Every structure is written in C-alpha cells, then in structure tokens.
Amino acid sequence: MKATNERIIVFDTETTGMNMTGPHYEGHCIVEIGAVEIINRKLTGNTFHVYIKPDREIDAEAIDVHGITDEFLVDKPTYGEVHQEFMDFIQGAELVAHNAPFDIGFMDYEFGKLDPSIGKTTDFCKVTDTLEMAKRLFPGKRNNLDVLCSRYGIDNSHRTLHGALLDAEILADVYLMMTGGQTSLALSSGSEESDAGAENAIRRLASGRKALKVIRASADEIQAHEARLDIIDKKGDVMWRQ
C-alpha cells in the first residue's frame, strides 16, 4: 500500500490530436486539464479544471473522443494564461495518470513552447503511470480505464465521452483500489465537508449474484458429527470443541 502522507494529484488531459510521433507531436497541444487532489488516501475536494484555447485546429478524430470543438474554445484562456496556476497546483506532488507518457509528453511540450527554462515535469514531480501498474497486476489483459472500472466494480456509466476532470475523478477511484482497496473517499476534515464528500464515494456496481443459501445441519447430522469427534478426540483437545 502507498504511504498515506503523500500529496497525490490524479490528472488527465485532452488534446487537439492523438498523434505522439515526432519531436513536436505534429504541433498538437492540450485543450483541457482536469486534476483532483488526494491526501492521506482521501479526496480533499480540491480540484483543478480548465479548458484551453489551442494555437491550432482540433482534429476530427480527437473531437470524436472528447467532444471539445474549436468553437467552444474560442473564448477560453491560452495555456500561458493558466500555466502558473497549474504549476502551483501540482508542484511537488506525485502525479498519477493513465498512460502517463501521453499526458506528460503534452505537458512538457506546452512547457517548452512557453519557456524552455521551465524544464520537464519530472524535474519537479514524481510521475506514476496506472497503466503500467495495471499491466503488472493483470498481465496480458486489456487495461484501459473502462475495463479497470468494470474489474473493480466502479460505476462509470456517466462517462459517455472522455473529459479530463471526469476521467481524473474516475481514475482516482481506480488508483485507490489498485493501491490498497480503499472503498471510501470521504473528505478528510470537517463535518460539512464530510457530508459533501459522500458524493465522492466510490460507486460500487451491484454484482447481480444471488446471496449464497445457508443450509444448516439437521439434529441427526449434528449427532453423527459429535459421534465422529468422540472417535477422534482421544485427549479432549479437538479444536472444533474449543
């Protein structure tokens, strides 16, 4: 199980395209960032979410995935306008993402465009890839986010399109299950916050299995059992009778 005193940021990004080939990802960039904070294995309710106006058009295949259009982003801030707020949120934390090289690669690309002196994400944050974790836990199996939700009984029925904040929230549930089976994500302090935190609980899916039928022994069966124990119990120390 992970240490409980770490500040963890579970995050996701959506981008203008899916192509990661080439040194500049063919100019593709981030259009949405969503992140949630975990401290002491509990969601704190502290989140970061922003839509970003890119400097290029969004590929049609990307729109099919996340539903974010160029028209929607016209009045949104550029990455440079949100960079410092984002850096303040993630600084020094352990970053958790599913297929982390994809998201980290785009973050590093944005950093480099803005100011090469910023450096790389790994210069100021530890990065954990839940896809690699899942591959170790379930070798040879599919391990995308939807599959992991099904495997751990987490309800993601409200996920019809990819969305950075929604995916980060779902991944936080998955991550906690993968690293120790945490099943309650109540907020960490305050009665009002705790009540609000009920909304952050992992939603476990019903298995659909009927409860096991309990068949109790009859009086004759109990008597026969005791007789058998009498044969075995030479020293009066049969553990079933203790």
Measured distance CA(201)–CA(183) in Å, rounded:
7
**162 assigned to active site:** yes
Sequence-distant (6+) residues with CB within 8 A of 182 are 41, 176, 202
Measured distance CA(148)–CA(136) in Å, rounded:
13
Sequence-distant (6+) residues with CB within 8 A of 110 are 29, 30, 79, 83
Question: Which of 28, 66, 98, 162 is an active site residue?
Answer: 162
Measured distance CA(210)–CA(43) in Å, rounded:
33
- Helix (H/G/I), strand (E/B), else coil: 82: helix
Measured distance CA(170)–CA(34) in Å, rounded:
11
Query: Which residues are 49's β-sheet partners?
Result: 34
Q: What share of the chain is helix, strand, coil (3-state, %, to 5)?
A: 40, 15, 40
| Catalytic residue IDs | 162
